[in-house]
Amino acid sequence: LFVIAAAIAVLVGVWALMSRTRIGLLMRATQLDRDMATAFGIPVERVYAIVFGLGAALAALAAVLIVPISQAHYLMGGDPLLLSFIVVIIGGLGSLPGAVVAALLIGMSDGIISVFFSPTLAKILATVLVALVLVFRPQGLFGTKAH
């Protein structure tokens, strides 16, 4: 339960950072149009460095939260990495609500299928779902079409 509460707190924190702070505004500006952000005087390389640091901090926090649940070893990130890519693709790039919905969908289905059938089948079905989303809705479930 602590891990779930911590994940919700991190999600709310990332949302608040991205939507309510100046650095979030700078991150969104550089993500949307790097050249225009540079023209407005935004230090794009510094913003990228900050984003990289925040990503590393979130990865470290995830490691701290997962180690009490499972043992730590150097190959432990493969499955979560695959599921993370699947969640981002299905939810839609740049869509935080889409990522939340896709994470719940993929997480619950992965857990249920893994219990009743096999973890390999769960990953195969998630990958097939990604292929279907890419074929029928390339921008993801909550993403917007490029102009």
- Residue 52 sits in the same domain as residue 40: yes
**Residue ranges making up the domain that contains 49:** 1-73
Please choose, from the candidates 17, 12, 44, the residue with its C-alpha nearest in 3D space to the C-alpha of residue 31.
44
Q: What is the pLDDT of residue 108?
A: 92
* 16, 41, 73 - which closes a domain: 73
Q: Where are the alpha helices (DSSP H) in the chain?
A: 2-20, 22-32, 34-39, 44-66, 78-91, 96-116, 119-136
- Residue 83 sits in the same domain as residue 62: no
- Residue 52 sits in the same domain as residue 89: no
- Residue 147 sits in the same domain as residue 87: yes
Place of tokens 């984003």: 51
* 39, 54, 73 - which closes a domain: 73
- Residue 102 sits in the same domain as residue 129: yes
- Residue 56 sits in the same domain as residue 19: yes
- Residue 7 sits in the same domain as residue 20: yes
User: Per-residue pLDDT for 18 more than 70?
Assistant: yes
pLDDT in tens, 67-113: 887 777 777 777 888 888 899 999 888 788 888 899 999 999 989 99
- Residue 66 sits in the same domain as residue 7: yes
User: Per-residue pLDDT for 3 more than 70?
Assistant: yes
- Residue 60 sits in the same domain as residue 115: no
User: Per-residue pLDDT for 45 more than 90?
Assistant: yes
Tokens of 81: 């990495």
* 73, 95, 130 - which closes a domain: 73
Is 0.85 topped by the overall pTM?
no
Count structural domains, the chain. 2
